[in-house]
Amino acid sequence: MSRFAVIERASIDEVYVDLTAAARERVRQMEGQQVDAEMLKTTFVDGFSQHGDTLQSGDPATLREEERRAGVWAWLEYLHRNCDQQSPEHQLTAGALIVEEMRAAVEAETGYRCSAGISHNKVLAKLSCGLNKPNRQTLLPLCSVPRLFDTLPIGKIRNLGGKLGESVAQHLNIEYMGQLRAFPLSQLQAAFGEKTGGWLFDLCRGVDFEPVRDRHLPKSIGCSKNFLGTEALSSCEQVKHWLLQLATELEERLTKDREQNQRVGKQLSVSVRLEGAGKSSHFSRCCALSQYQAQSIANNAFTLLRGFNTAGSHQTAW
């Protein structure tokens, strides 16, 4: 994906892509050309179809594809009639073309299929990504946001799925994101503070300014495992066994990182959390990381840990 534009890894299976520069360049390259609907062969355009307005019979997949095509044609007609070549709407469409190519490249090289959302900011892109899964992409123009937000629960919006979203809904006695538009900026800032109130005022109108940040390399690489209840380790041999399992996994991750990022780890850190009798304790110890070899890592980790064995350092029990 990073071949196409700046990316920000958000989770193990999610990424934000800043297509601003790439979309502007694509618009420049296509100056004077019309976008063909077949170039957007897996794209839905939210707000530009009649889905759900009339009852239809037939194969659901066929009807869904007809709905998708009709929406793309309606969107392209809207562009032709209302938007100049340099408009944000044309840039969104260019972004959708790029994402079609990006998703095809991902599938060709990895075998994985993915969905995507194309919109003006991270909040709208994440929201639209989930509208037409699987293996489809959704373009969400700003003109479609009010209709979508009028029936969208507040908790479905990025950063409003937790306590803040609950607080907004309860304090203002509302349920849907679109209902926020009824409140003036001064009232939102009085209730939730200047910064958060201003953010809510903009967000309910589809406006957000958080940038896509180029992914930074992690400062540490690790692996861990919990041993709960009957799985609790009770002998030194069990501790050694699992340290080796974790060290083997760690060796693989470290080796892959060294190959990809041309860097080497310098320190080994071992952390343990113990829970019981209504309380928990945590300790951590470090030593030099001399080599990427699982058995060596496991031996060093056990040396760091064995002093905490209350059965005694030479006992078989842990």
Rounded to 5 degrees, φ, ψ at 275 are -130, 140
- Rounded Cα distance between 96 and 117, Å, is 9
* Radius of gyration of the chain measured on its C-alpha atoms: 26
Q: Are 214 and 7 in contact (CB under 8 A)?
A: yes
- Rounded Cα distance between 196 and 164, Å, is 10
- Rounded Cα distance between 217 and 262, Å, is 12
The amino acid present at 68, given as its one-letter code, is R
How many C-beta atoms surround the C-beta of residue 180 within 10 A? Answer: 20
Residue 137: strand, helix, or coil: strand
The amino acid present at 83, given as its one-letter code, is C
- Rounded Cα distance between 120 and 131, Å, is 16
Active-site residue, 14 included: yes
* Integer CA distances (angstroms), 278 to 195, 274, 275, in order: 40, 11, 7
CB-based burial label for 314 (10 Å; 0-12, 13-18, 19+): exposed
- Rounded Cα distance between 197 and 205, Å, is 13
- Candidates 14, 77, 166, 237; catalytic one: 14
Catalytic residues: 14
